[in-house]
Structure 1
Amino acid sequence: MADELPHALNVLWGRAKPKGRGRTPALSLERIVAAAITLADEEGLAALSMARLAERLGCAPMSLYRHVTGKDDLQLFMLDAAPGPPPEFGTAPADWRGALTRWAVELFGVYLRHPWIVQLVSSPPVDPGQLAWLDAALRTLGGTPLDWRARFSVVMLVLHYVRGAAQLVTSVTAEPEEGADGAYAALLTEFADPGRFPALARAVEAGVFAPHAGPGPDDDFRVGLDHLLDGVGVAIERAART
C-alpha cells in the first residue's frame, strides 16, 4: 500500500524518510514548504513553480528535487502544513455548537489566509494535517445523540459551507475594482423589475446591495453559519427523542 501512495504522504506518515539533503546546507524540506506556502499566499497558486521557488530560496531548481519529487509532491506537503493545528476539543464537548462554531470560524480564517488551499483540495483528505481538522470537527459532536454517520454528514455540510464562503470572499476581493459595488447596485436598480423579480427588487429597494451598506464578509459568514447550525440543532433534538 505504501508503494502506491505519493512520496509526500509516505513521508508525512513516517513510512518513508525525506529525500536526501541537498548541497545547500540551509535547504531543508521544512524551509522549502514554508517558502512555497508564502509564495502561493502572496502571488497565487499559478505563480508557484519549481523554478520560481528555487529563485526565492536562492538555490538551483535541481536542489529542490533532492527533497521533493516534483510540484505535486510539494503541494501535498503544503496542504498538510499550511492549516496548522486545529482547535483543541475534548472527546465530548458540552457545548457542541460553540465548539463547531469555533472550528468553522478558525477554518474560514485558514482559507482566507491561504486561498489556494480551496483550489488544491479535490479529494478526501489523507494527510495528517487535514485529518487532524476532520477529527477535531467530529469530536465537537461527541456529546450529541447523533450516530457516527450523521456526525460525519454534519461535518461535511459545515465544511462545504466554509469552503464555499471562503471561495466567494477571496474571488470577489482578489482584484477589487474601484466603484464596482456601486456599479452593480446601479445595474440591479435598473434591471430588477418588480414584476419579474419581485423579491430581488424589494432587496434592492432595502439597500441590500448598496456599497458598504451591510455587514462585512466575516459577519455574513457568521450569519450563514448560525442559520446552518440552527438546522443541525433541530436534527440533534430529533435524534434525542428517538
Structure 2
Amino acid sequence: MNERSGLAQILEAAWGVRDQRTRRRQRGLSLDLIVNAAVRIASTEGLSAVSMTRVAGDMGVSPMSLYRYVQAKDELLILMADAVYAVPPEPVEPAAGWREGLCNWAWGLHRLLREHPWVLRIPITGPPATPHQVLWLERGLASLAGTRLTETEKLSVMMLINGFVRSEALLFSEVSQAFSGSGSQEAMSFYSSLLGKLASSDQFPFVHAALSAGGYDEESGPDDEFEFGLRCVLDGIEQLVERGRATA
C-alpha cells in the first residue's frame, strides 16, 4: 500500500465512509468510542502513552478487536486530532469585518491547543482534510468573504494564521515544560541576568541592550506574547486586504 492510498483510507474512516462498510463489528465498540478513549489517555498522560494495546486495555477489549475499526496507530492519531476540532469557532457577523472574524478564529484555535497540547506532536500529513478541520477552514475562509482577496490568497492567509497559532502554542508548551517546578517569570529573570553577564556589550551590543532594558524581567500574562504576535499578523493581512481594495 502506497502512502497516498493509505492516507485515502484514513480519510475515508474520518469521513465515515469506511466505517459504514466495516464488517464483523464487536458489540460495545465503535470508531468514536475508540478515538475518544485514545483522546482521554493523551489528555491525561501525553501522546506517548497512546498505543493500540493501551487503548484496548482501557476499554476492556483485546487489541485485535480495535483493528476492525482502526488499521494502525498512525490512523488513530489523525482521527484523534480531528476529534478535538469537533467544536469550531462561532461565525462572526459579516458586519463585524474580516479582522474580527480571523481574530475570533485564531483565539479559538489558541484555546484548543492550550487545552490539548499533545495535538501539536502529531505529524501533519497535508492540508486540512478531515471533517472537523475542514469545517474550521470553512469558518476561517468565511471571514474573508467580504474582501477582494483571491481564493488563493485567502487560503494563504489561513495557512499563515494557523501556522502562527500552532508555532506559538508549541513554544508555550515547550517553555512550560522546561520551567516546570519554577515560575516562568522567575526563570526568565534568571536567564536574563546570567546571559547579561556572559554576553558582553562589545560582542553582542544589541542583545546586551535588550537585556539591560529588562525585556525579560517585566511581568507578563500567559497570553501577552500571543496577543502581540496576532496583532502583528493581522496588521500585515490588513495591508494585503487594503492593497486589493485599492487595486479594484
- After TM superposition, the score normalised by the length of structure 2 is 0.86
Give the partner amino acid of 1:201: H
Task: Count residues with an aligned counterpart.
Answer: 238
RMSD between superposed Cα atoms in Å: 2.3
Aligned equivalent of 1:102, options 104, 109, 112: 104
1:107-142 CA-to-partner distances (Å, cap 9, x unmatched) read 011111222222224222211111111111111111
Aligned counterparts of 2:107 and 2:233: Cα–Cα separation in 1? 13
Is the contact made by 2:19 and 2:31 (CA closer than 8 Å) also made in structure 1?
A: no
Distance, in Å, in 1 between the alignment partners of 2:142 and 2:96 is 11
Establish whether residue 111 from structure 1 lines up as the match of residue 108 from structure 2. Answer: no
Map of 2:84 onto structure 1: 82
Identity %: 38
More helix by share: 2
Q: Contact (CA 8 Å) 1:21, 1:27: kept in 2 or not?
A: no
CA contact (8 A) 1:125 1:131 kept: yes
1:43-66 CA distance string (max 9 Å, x none): 222211111112222222122122
- Name the aligned partner's letter for residue 213 of structure 2: A
1:206 aligns with 2:213: yes
Tell me the distance in 1 between the aligned counterparts of 2:91 and 2:197: 50
What SS does the corresponding residue of 1:229 show, helix, strand or coil? helix
2:191 match: 184
Instruction: Name which of structure 1's ranges 177-186 and 213-222 shifts more when overlaid on structure 2.
Output: 177-186
Gaps of 5+ in 1: none
Residue 161 (structure 2) pairs with residue 158 (structure 1): yes
Q: Distance in 2 between matches of 1:36 and 1:27?
A: 13
Distance, in Å, in 2 between the alignment partners of 1:14 and 1:40 is 23
* 1:63-99 deviations in Å (ceiling 9; x for gaps): 2122211212211211221122311326955411111
Shift of 1:229: 0.6
TM-score (norm 1): 0.88
- Mark the CA change 1:98 to 1:22 in structure 2 (over 3 Å): closer, same or farther: same
- Deviation for aligned residue 1:160: 0.8
> Residue 176 of structure 2: which of 163, 173, 178 is its match?
173
Task: Go from structure 1 to structure 2 and tell me whether the alpha carbon gap of 1:119 and 1:235 turns closer, same or farther (over 3 Å shift).
Answer: same
CA distance in 2, matches of 1:155, 1:226: 15
Q: Give the deviation of 1:143 after TM superposition.
A: 0.8
CA 1:112–1:239: 2 relative to 1, 3 Å: same
Partner of 1:217: 222
Shift of 1:100: 0.2
Q: Relative to structure 1, is the Cα distance of residues 190 and 4 closer, same or farther in structure 2, using a 3 angstrom cutoff?
A: closer
Which residue number in structure 1 is paired with residue 141 of structure 2? 138
3-state SS, counterpart of residue 231 of structure 2: helix
**Contact 1:36–1:48 (CA under 8 A) maintained in structure 2:** yes
Q: What runs of 5+ residues in structure 2 fail to find an aligned partner?
A: none
